[in-house]
Chain A
Amino acid sequence: MAGSSVSVDLSQAMATAPVAAGDWLVVAPSLITILGGSLCLMLRKNTDLQPKVGIGFLGLLVLANLALLIRVLDHGVITMVMGSWLPPFGIAFTVDTLGAMLSLIGSVVAFCAGVFGAATIDNTGRRYGFYPFLLLLMTGVCGAFLTGDIFNLYVWFEVLLISSYGLLVLGNDRIQLDGAVKYGVLNLVGTNLFLIGTGMLYGIFGTLNMADLAQKVAALEDPASGTLATVAALYFLAFAMKAAAFPVNFWLPASYHTPNVVVSAVFAGLLTKVGVYALIRVFVLILPASRGYLSDVISLVAIGTLLTGALGALAQSEVRRLLGYLVIAGIGSMLAGLAVGSTLAISGAIFYAVHSIIVMTALYMAAGVMEMMGGSYDLRKLGGLYQKSAAFAAVFLALAFAVSGLPPFSGFWPKVMLVDAAFSDGRVWLGTAILVSGFLTTLAMGRIWIFAFWRGGPEGTPDGQTAPVTAGTAVSEAQLSGGAVWLPLGILTALVIYFGLQPEWMLELSTQGASGLVEPLGYLRSVFGVQG
């Protein structure tokens, strides 16, 4: 290690320049969620107050993330070193456009889930701690997006995993525990691989700061050396597990249909994308050379993921399981961007991640509404939803078009970018796989549309006839009549339509995020400028 023989001079080890109050926005998302989460935990028995406090803090989180993104766009990359200890030894939070953008979208989704949960989570679920877990999950998610230290990234992964275990077993059903065991075991293996890789990385470079690592890796004479290749392979496997990439994707369809639908919505929106974010961050910023020689492997994995996801979705007749496979297909698209690795491809992957966070959450919420209206998640038992609510049918159709990548919705633009990047890089099979997967997804969504919306009633209803409209249970009617279900679904659908019609803003942000990773000068200067 570089500094081991030099005696420590405190003024060189600590930041002395005053920190602008605006830079505190870097830690604000983690702080708000920790304070809110612990407050909700103290109020655990007060089931009326808890949603108000929880949603209030989630709203604050959205505002803080919005302010953070604006500040990053104004001032460039921001770094704050915890306890004033300078990197590479102190832990740094370094926020670039990519991190701030994903953190903002993630918090919007969490806010929507908090509102949706006010209607669908009963008092037992609240006492089990839905709101504390949701807030602490966001601590982990935002922390992972904002940190500039790879071991710290591991810690945030643990924070979000522990909270997600709690959310997964909310209610203690047998089927939930079964799903949680599968989810838990695979994720534990993944985090351990991540930890082993991080240990090896520290052994090689003696630092865990991402900017420092990026510099030291770039200065290596032989960036394809064996040890570094091992680290890269370990990281790829670990993050691919988190992202549910083929062939380590089986835990996702096995667990995502078990919890309350709003929990599935948050998971589908956020958890796998944190894995993708980690892949992009590590392989584009820190280990670009390793990404170069792994690109064929990543490409194969991406093709496998795209096709497994889409084919799996076609084979399902349970709406939530079907959506689970669509989450996997989306991960394939983002991996395709990583495999190509050009600025266009990475920005396509980032745009796709944003789109996927919004649309998958909205689709799971829509599945929840379908269950409230039709009494089941089974396509065989659903039917006649168009008659019940034409407006909801329109919302679902918009989301279905978006997830399939059809214009004019948010899924179209990133797919265009990814396919363009893949073909211009000469990866014909990869580009074709994205298109085929999009086509199969359209078919899968078309099945839901035909069975649940177009058909007059459940299976067995003759063509052209409509089954009598049955009233739902008292509980589901009460849930549907309040705004708590429709408001979040409306916000997310509006975002999907907005990003479809006005993609320029998002295009610019994701291009800026991608070029900040491919040429990380601003990132490095932000971390080490503090020293000078």
Chain B
Amino acid sequence: MRTIIFRTIAPFLTALMVLFSVFVLLRGHNEPGGGFIGGLIAASALAIFGIACGVASVRRALYFHPMSVSAFGLFLGALAGMLSFFKAQAFMTSQWLIFDLFGVEIALSTPLVFDIGVYLVVVGAIGSIALALEEREID
């Protein structure tokens, strides 16, 4: 698969897909999208980069082990649900922070944090499976 065309285009494609996955993640609260599907897109971006340029370079680029990324996502997801403790509400009750930033209404919320957690879990889990499979093929 290491043709020159693919190797040239893969980094751009990967960057674009990761960007798109973040877009899908952020629009997910009220529209189709969200952490899970965003995570899948990002994981396939990692897989494409791995096929084109080798798994070692993906691991270098990620810096953290995919499994640790996944664990951090789980950690974040659990923490997101715990914020409602301080408002004497049940676990996972959503908390909102809505403010104006240069005339644009920004709505930050704990479901968003939870969704980011899901995104990281999916990127980490699917990414580490994909990288492990690709590693076998190359050896």
Residues in chain A within 8 A of chain B (CB atoms): 15, 18-21, 24, 27, 31, 34-35, 37-39, 41-42, 44-45, 80-84, 132
0/1 string, B49-83, CB within 8 A of A gives 1:
00000000000000001011011101100110110
Q: How far is the CB of A418 from chain B (nearest CB, A)?
A: 38
Contact for A82 among B67, B75, B92, CB less than 8 A: B92
Q: Which residues of B contact A80 (CB under 8 A)?
A: 90-91
Give the contacts of B117-133 with A (CB-CB under 8 A).
none
Q: Which residues of B contact A24 (CB under 8 A)?
A: 85, 91
Q: How far is the CB of A139 from chain B (nearest CB, A)?
A: 10
B44 CB-CB contact with A under 8 Å: no
In the complex, what distance in Å separates the CA atom of A21 from the CA atom of B88? 7
Q: How far is the CB of A341 from chain B (nearest CB, A)?
A: 34
Q: Which residues of A contact B67 (CB under 8 A)?
A: 41, 44
A-B contact count (CB 8 A): 60
Q: Which residues of A contact B70 (CB under 8 A)?
A: 41
In the complex, what distance in Å separates the CA atom of A474 from the CA atom of B109? 56
A83 touches B93 (CB 8 A): yes
Contact for B93 among A31, A39, A84, CB less than 8 A: A84
Contact for B94 among A27, A44, A45, A83, CB less than 8 A: A83
A19 touches B78 (CB 8 A): no
- Write the chain B residue with the least CB distance to A129: B67
B8 CB-CB contact with A under 8 Å: no
Interface residues of chain A: helix, strand, loop or mixed (majority): helix
Q: How far is the CB of A411 from chain B (nearest CB, A)?
A: 38
Contact for A35 among B68, B78, B90, CB less than 8 A: B78
Q: Which residues of B contact A81 (CB under 8 A)?
A: 90
In the complex, what distance in Å separates the CA atom of A19 from the CA atom of B93? 11
The listed residue with most A CB atoms (<10 A of its CB), out of B72, B82, B88, is B88
Q: Which residues of A contact B78 (CB under 8 A)?
A: 31, 34-35, 38
Given contacts A38-B74, A41-B68, A42-B72, contact A18 B92 (CB under 8 A): no
Extra inter-chain contacts (15) besides given A34-B78, A82-B91, A83-B93, CB under 8 Å: A15-B90, A19-B88, A19-B90, A20-B88, A21-B85, A24-B85, A31-B78, A31-B82, A31-B91, A34-B75, A38-B78, A42-B75, A82-B90, A83-B90, A84-B84
Q: Which residues of B contact A31 (CB under 8 A)?
A: 78, 81-82, 91
A44 touches B68 (CB 8 A): yes
B91 touches A41 (CB 8 A): no
